[in-house]
Structure 1
Amino acid sequence: MTETPLRAELLLAQDVSEGLEQELTARFRELGVRSVRVRRALGHRGPNELQWLVLTALPLQAFLSGLGSEAVKDGYRLLKELVGRIVRRRSTAADAAPSLLVLQDERSGLRIVLEPDLPQEAYEELTALDLTRFSVGPLHYDRARARWRSELDEAAG
């Protein structure tokens, strides 16, 4: 049986440089994504919206499962480095809003927010996470409880 190659669509904030765009594309390919399409977001967002810098839409469960497999050696480390690079590039401006990498499932729309300085355990748990347990999202890693959770799903019961 042959697997369908992973495809991803990157939606980048307007202020993402061409260099970072190329680096992101290369990194996602290292993580097993074979086709990467890049678009730019419109320049206006409300103050209450999630301040992501990069939104990546892809078949999320397949991507996360692949990170933990032998096919993508050091997948956790590569993803953690990718998040770190995005944050470091953005944090040079004193008034910059927090920079986040957000993964979004292309079918369900469920989002996972990857914040800077997540512990290694967060990435390891992420690769084994059953996304069908969540319906609303977004998922954040709760450091105090050491688990991924969706506060909106929990509030909905």
Structure 2
Amino acid sequence: MTEAPSRAELLLAQDVSEVLEKELTARFRDMGVSEIRVRRTLGHRGPAELQWLVLASLPLQAFLAGLGSEAVRDGYAALKKLVARVFRRDGSAEDAAVPRPLVLQDERTGLRIVLEPDLPQQAYEQLTELDLTEFSIGPVHYDRTRERWRSELDEAAG
């Protein structure tokens, strides 16, 4: 059985509240991450430069395998709740107008997985079994039409 990684680094946008920061770290701990380092983006970046709200850098394959393991049986449900919470920051119209996802990034390869709101349960179940070696460029996102995780850039590169 694969163990969940023991460490993660969270890079948060400036507009993530301290309350959400504490909730994020608690949820990652609930999913088996024991050591969490939290940093904030630089305040002088423009809104066009930042596409995500939370970037979590961790040993991604181990994290995903840990979510699917029996020890963390409800891991994908916890991750789904975490993604929903990130999107529900304060419910303002401004938040809804500019959706910024939670992104998981492999600390070794830099491959990113984009977690969007309202992904179906099937997406999270597939995510825990995803073989990241199938992707080289990324980002990887869930294609609702094809009902699978994919990287359009990898596909275009052949």
Bucket of the pairwise TM-score, normalised by the shorter protein:
over 0.9
Contact 1:31 1:78 in 2 (8 A): yes
Map 1:67-82 → 2, pairs under 5 A: 67-82=67-82
TM-score (norm 1): 0.92
Deviation at 1:51, TM superposition (A): 1.7
Q: Which structure shows the bigger proportion of residues in helix conformation?
A: 2
Please give the alpha-carbon distance, in whole angstroms, between the structure 1 residues aligned to 2:77 and 2:33: 16
- Call closer, same or farther: CA 1:57–1:145 in 2, change over 3 Å: same
**SS of 2:69 mapped into structure 1:** coil
Alpha-carbon RMSD: 1.8
The alpha carbon displacement at 1:36 in A equals: 0.5
1:91 deviates by 4.0
Residues 79-131 of structure 1: CA distance to partner in whole angstroms, max 9, x if unpaired? 00000000011541436410210000000000000000000000000110100
5+ residue gaps, structure 2 = none
Q: Equivalents in 1 of 2:122, 2:50: separation in Å?
A: 24
Q: 1:90 to 1:147 in 2, by over 3 A?
A: farther
Deviation for aligned residue 1:73: 3.0
Alpha-carbon distance in structure 1 between the residues aligned to 2:83 and 2:5: 23
Residues 23-52 of structure 1: CA deviation (Å, up to 9, x unaligned): 0000000001110100001131462x4621
Aligned to 1:7: 7
Judged with a 3 Å threshold, the aligned counterparts in structure 2 of structure 1 residues 71 and 45 are, in CA distance, closer, same or farther, namely farther
Q: Which residue of 2 aligns with 1:113?
A: 114
